[in-house]
Structure 1
């Protein structure tokens, strides 16, 4: 679980990096690993520290895909569950690197499995986002590891439909998602922050040798999570 302190941002961006919001997304993202029953009840010790209302889990159990939505103040949070910590090594060993065409930008290709998983889950949360936007809510999307991959595809999709309400995403340990054309295009759409801890292996996959590239705005934290660097072109 990630906890942050306040440091000066080194670059002025239209929607500046917020450590407070990153902390909130990280904590909410950790709770995405809980059972649907726990999420719905919102009564665990960490839950009680986060004033989230109307938590609603979603998922496809047969495919081990899940997440939840919930409201906090003027925001709707959309969180995707990441890879279980005890299964990260198996997930890495089973990871394939096939790319498919991405429909929204010319020449863009993305990881076939991540994109298929996003498309499978989209119908589980889209109506909730639409309702929140109709009520004037800002939508914040996040996740970790595989959940971060799903969050990026989700936020890009939602920003196309609700550009005034979907403008930022915070993701922890996001893998590379597509080729250079996709990375360049996605980086221009909205503020997507990739939080990376110094020794996390997941952001190094899939490998650059297979033409995978990261979207920009990496927020790199040192070992004790005491300092960060903002890297706009981080490959």
Structure 2
């Protein structure tokens, strides 16, 4: 009898770990498309006219963008079809030296929102450079669309920024969870205590997913091993093939060997630019172009 009870408990625990967080493929693909759109030029985003990239998802209205001198960027707007405020924090621009230095820094700083929490110094500095502006724009849209849903997303460095942003929007939303928080190819953001704190607060979201893809090297950084000791947050969705949207592995706990942490020799930059089969590299270049008054395309 005891053996049967033990087996039952083990099976129950296994089932709980597999099914204890929601994942919606269509929502994930939609927010990934908004993440990609955040790489486009300001002028194209304000009119939602960034070609294929903008046509992939519902247009946003009342769009606001912000970019500081170090090329840290976000977009925020309202989707009428979704009745949702959408926030997308941009990832690393390939030609941005500052962004690369931000990504490669490995120092930690204290994070005041939770006990003994520390986060990546470069990510946190980048986050602090946009949060004041973002709070203002969010409150403006929240006052205008008071009952709307809230979606937060970001790719690469943008995923790290989105992770730091979610607790702040949670507080601005009267300590109510946002409706969806989904990142693609995010690096590790904080230490063990930070990861635990996120789990304790159910990732501050009704639906959350940290999407990873095959041999994407960015999700392996900064290192988990000592002396670096960074740790991912949980709710991971791991894909082997970017084009097969319905085949993935769910890992509730961070650093699960069944997902990206179990991948060795993760060195594929192509995987980092292939989430949901989008052409992140080629589309980035195209959607940053606009036609000037002389009918010439210019890269912005």
Q: Decide: shared fold, TM above 0.5.
A: yes
Q: Does 1:66 align with 2:84?
A: no
* TM-score of the pair, normalised by structure 2: 0.69
Q: Which residue of 2 aligns with 1:128?
A: 137
Q: Which residue of 2 aligns with 1:109?
A: 118
Partners of 2:34 and 2:43 lie apart in 1 by 15
* TM-score of the pair, normalised by structure 1: 0.87
Q: Which residue of 2 aligns with 1:3?
A: none
Greater strand content? 1
Q: Does 1:146 align with 2:152?
A: no
SS in structure 1 of the partner of residue 62 of structure 2: strand
Q: Does the 8 Å contact 2:120/2:190 carry over to 1? A: yes
Q: Does the 8 Å contact 1:159/1:167 carry over to 2? A: no
Deviation per CA, 1:117-173: give whole Å up to 9, x if none.
111101222122123333222211110110100001011111123133624310000
Partners of 2:222 and 2:195 lie apart in 1 by 13
SS in structure 2 of the partner of residue 154 of structure 1: helix
Q: Does the 8 Å contact 1:129/1:139 carry over to 2? A: no
RMSD (CA atoms) = 2.2
Partners of 2:31 and 2:73 lie apart in 1 by 16
SS in structure 1 of the partner of residue 65 of structure 2: strand
Shift, 1:224, TM fit: 4.2
Q: Does the 8 Å contact 2:123/2:161 carry over to 1? A: yes
Runs of 4+ aligned residues of structure 1 deviating over 6 Å after TM superposition are none
Q: Does the 8 Å contact 1:69/1:77 carry over to 2? A: yes
Deviation per CA, 1:10-63: give whole Å up to 9, x if none.
5143xx221111111111111111111111121222323432222221121x11
Q: How does 1:45-194 map to 2 (within 5 A)?
A: 45-46=51-52, 47-51=54-58, 52-60=60-68, 62-73=69-80, 74-85=83-94, 91=100, 95-134=104-143, 135-162=146-173, 163-164=175-176, 166-189=178-201, 190-191=204-205, 192-194=208-210
Q: Which runs of 5+ in 2 are unaligned?
A: 1-16, 256-300
Partners of 2:115 and 2:254 lie apart in 1 by 22
Q: Which residue of 2 aligns with 1:215?
A: 233
Partners of 2:241 and 2:138 lie apart in 1 by 36
Range with bigger deviation, 152-161 or 101-110 = 152-161
Q: Which residue of 1 aligns with 2:252?
A: 232
Query: CA separation of 1:158/1:99 partners in 2, compared to 1, >3 Å: closer, same or farther?
Result: same
1:197 maps to which of 213, 223, 226: 213
Q: Which residue of 2 aligns with 1:25?
A: 31
Query: CA separation of 1:165/1:128 partners in 2, compared to 1, >3 Å: closer, same or farther?
Result: farther
Shift, 1:84, TM fit: 2.5
Partners of 1:114 and 1:200 lie apart in 2 by 19
Shift, 1:202, TM fit: 0.4
